[in-house]
């Protein structure tokens, strides 16, 4: 029994308005949960065509033996395309999935108020508009909320349950319970720009694009480093080609504008030029990559085999990279230990240290090589290195050989502040801490959303705890010193977290 059954032994009628990809997916989810579903679209014939498309998808599931023919037939028996909004009168839940225009959504829900009962829940699947603003024109705004499904809705578990400023608590509770009964993973969040995922995820794209603009590396190399060292399922360049560059940029720009041009959310000029050129990704045949038939994917830059050093010296503690020491010893490379510092020293004295928001060239010691952050150095298959201008070529080759001896591919990138993974993860952690402090969602909801909504290898708050808030804060402070625009200034929430950690030491 779902939350909209209202004490009966039947599943309540669900209406879906808007029959594009998202509308069809949401309707399929409701059908799978046993609800009768009515599909409506303002364009003549679209609702019927959407019902046919759903029937085709269910037929494919039967062919794959993931659904029985009897269950398919029962689901299709509950699906009704309608041509008049008045046909939604008996709905207990209406989910809107029309175009992302505030005026259009307000007009739709205003019309629905005169059709459905006062007990009917109204929900918008908006990903970027204010739920509060959508509800602001209604006679009873308390029953409207956001139910943000992720594409493809039948497969993606996450649904953001967005409570607008006027949303009644009971309405939010009913919607949350309904989504949970549908087998989805609901998370509660406040009506703020981007909600949880589209707010917290912005640095994953923005920092890679900025590193590209700084000529740190090409898209294929940056993608490979974030996948194979950072542990992300897809790199930001290949992922935005899949999403659509226009769609991704629209979300970034919407969040940035709604937050009054906060520099932390500044869009990418390189992505803007890509969109302006019509290269929107897979759907247009070209984005960051060429997707034409037969086009090959460029390979990431990978260093040629180099000799490892005969030994290294560990000075102090490597912090989040301390696990490297055991790997080096397992590879048969002797490690001597010195009490002071936070780096490895190669036999010629070159310092090898974890990316910390500065550049290798900033190191007061003449010869320095930075290595990037990894989710787990034992399982990472690639590590990025960057050398200072003063580091001899042989020193860089020795550093490359060291990581190759640990079984890693090595990508040498330009010496930019924070490298690739380190700056990205530090910003993700900071955005998540800031979102908690601003009441966007609970810590548990944020980590759940990022794990299930965008398949991150670790929730950003859990990642921050693993790295230590002081490391994240100091990395961002160093980045802010290198780029004093406000983009990298650590949030007050992160500063407080780091201070609390320091008091525990």
For the residues of 337-385, what is the DSSP string, one character each? Answer: EESS-EEEE-TT--EEEE--SS-GGG-SSSSEEEE---S-TTT-SEEEE
Q: Cα separations (Å) of 253 from 245, 250, 268?
A: 12, 5, 9
Catalytic residue among 160, 238, 249, 409: 160
The CA distance from 274 to 288, in Å, is 8
The CA distance from 375 to 482, in Å, is 25
For the residues of 257-301, what is the DSSP string, one character each? Answer: HHTTT-GGGPPPHHHHHHHHTT--BGGGTBSSSB-STTPPPPPPP
Beta bridge partners of 186: 159
- Check: CB of residue 461 under 8 Å from CB of residue 448: no
Would you say how long the chain is, in residues?
505
Q: Is 160 a catalytic residue?
A: yes
Comparing CA positions, the residue from 81, 133, 83, 82 lying closest to residue 105 is 133
> How far is CA 73 from its chain centroid?
36
Q: What is the DSSP letter of 125?
A: -
Q: Cα separations (Å) of 214 from 142, 241, 357, 379?
A: 47, 20, 14, 29
The CA distance from 410 to 481, in Å, is 28
The CA distance from 126 to 505, in Å, is 45
Catalytic residue among 198, 395, 398, 491: 198
Written as six digits, the tokens of 136 are 């602001």
The CA distance from 3 to 224, in Å, is 44
The CA distance from 33 to 244, in Å, is 30
The CA distance from 266 to 277, in Å, is 20
Comparing CA positions, the residue from 354, 333, 343 lying closest to residue 401 is 333
Q: Is 301 a catalytic residue?
A: no
Catalytic residue among 35, 92, 128, 148: 148
Q: Is 254 a catalytic residue?
A: no
The CA distance from 496 to 505, in Å, is 15
State the greatest distance between any 2 C-alpha atoms of the chain, in Å, as a whole number: 80
Cis before residue 92, ω within 30 degrees of 0?
no
Q: Is 198 a catalytic residue?
A: yes
Q: What is the DSSP letter of 87?
A: G
User: In the sheet that 144-149 helps form, which strands lie side by side, from edge to edge?
Assistant: 79-82, 37-40, 14-17, 93-96, 121-124, 144-149, 158-163, 185-190
- Catalytic machinery residues: 127, 148, 160, 198
């Amino acid at each position: 029994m779902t939350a909209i059954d209202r004490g009966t032994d039947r599943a309540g009628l669900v209406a879906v308005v808007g029959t594009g990809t998202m509308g069809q997916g949401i309707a399929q989810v409701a059908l799978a949960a046993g609800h009768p579903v009515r599909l409506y679209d303002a364009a003549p014939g679209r609702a019927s065509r959407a019902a046919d498309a759903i029937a085709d998808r269910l037929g494919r599931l039967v062919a794959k033996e993931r659904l029985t023919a009897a269950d398919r037939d029962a689901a299709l028996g509950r699906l009704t395309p309608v041509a008049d909004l008045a046909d939604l009168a008996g709905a207990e839940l209406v989910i809107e999935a029309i175009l992302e225009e505030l005026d259009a959504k307000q007009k739709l829900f205003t019309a629905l108020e005169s059709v459905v009962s006062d007990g009917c829940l109204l929900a918008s699947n908006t990903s970027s508009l204010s739920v509060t603003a959508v509800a602001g024109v209604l006679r009873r705004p308390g029953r409207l909320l956001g139910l943000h499904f992720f594409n493809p809705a039948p497969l993606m578990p996450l649904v953001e349950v967005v409570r607008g400023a006027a949303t009644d608590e009971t309405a939010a509770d009913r919607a949350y319970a309904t989504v949970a009964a549908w087998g989805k993973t609901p998370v509660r969040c406040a009506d703020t720009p981007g909600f949880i995922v589209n707010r917290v995820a912005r640095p994953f794209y923005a920092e890679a694009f900025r590193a590209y603009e700084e000529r740190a590396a090409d898209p294929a190399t940056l993608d490979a480093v974030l996948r194979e060292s950072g542990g992300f399922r897809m790199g930001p360049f290949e992922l935005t080609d899949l999403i659509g560059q226009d769609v991704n940029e629209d979300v970034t720009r919407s969040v940035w504008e709604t937050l009054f041009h906060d520099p932390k959310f500044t869009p990418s000029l390189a992505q803007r030029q890509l969109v302006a050129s019509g290269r929107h990704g897979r759907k247009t045949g070209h984005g960051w990559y060429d997707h034409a038939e037969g086009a090959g994917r460029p390979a990431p830059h990978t260093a040629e085999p180099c000799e490892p050093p005969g030994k290294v010296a560990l000075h102090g503690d490597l912090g989040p990279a301390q696990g490297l020491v055991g790997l080096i010893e397992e590879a048969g490379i002797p490690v001597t230990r010195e009490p002071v510092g936070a780096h490895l020293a190669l036999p010629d004295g070159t310092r090898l240290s974890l990316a910390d928001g500065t550049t290798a060239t900033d190191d007061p010691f003449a010869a320095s090589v930075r290595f990037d952050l990894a989710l787990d150095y034992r399982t990472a298959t690639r590590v990025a290195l960057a050398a200072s201008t003063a580091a001899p070529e042989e020193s860089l080759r020795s550093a490359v050989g060291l990581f190759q001896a640990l079984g890693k591919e090595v990508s040498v990138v330009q010496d930019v502040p924070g490298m690739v993974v380190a700056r990205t993860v530090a910003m993700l952690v900071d955005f998540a801490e800031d979102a908690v402090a601003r009441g966007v969602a609970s810590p548990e909801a944020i980590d759940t959303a990022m794990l299930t909504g965008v398949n991150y290898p670790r929730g950003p708050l859990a990642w921050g705890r693993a790295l230590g808030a002081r490391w994240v804060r100091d990395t961002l402070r160093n980045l802010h010193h290198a780029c004093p625009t406000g983009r990298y200034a650590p949030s007050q929430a992160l500063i407080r977290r780091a201070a609390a950690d320091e008091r525990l030491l």
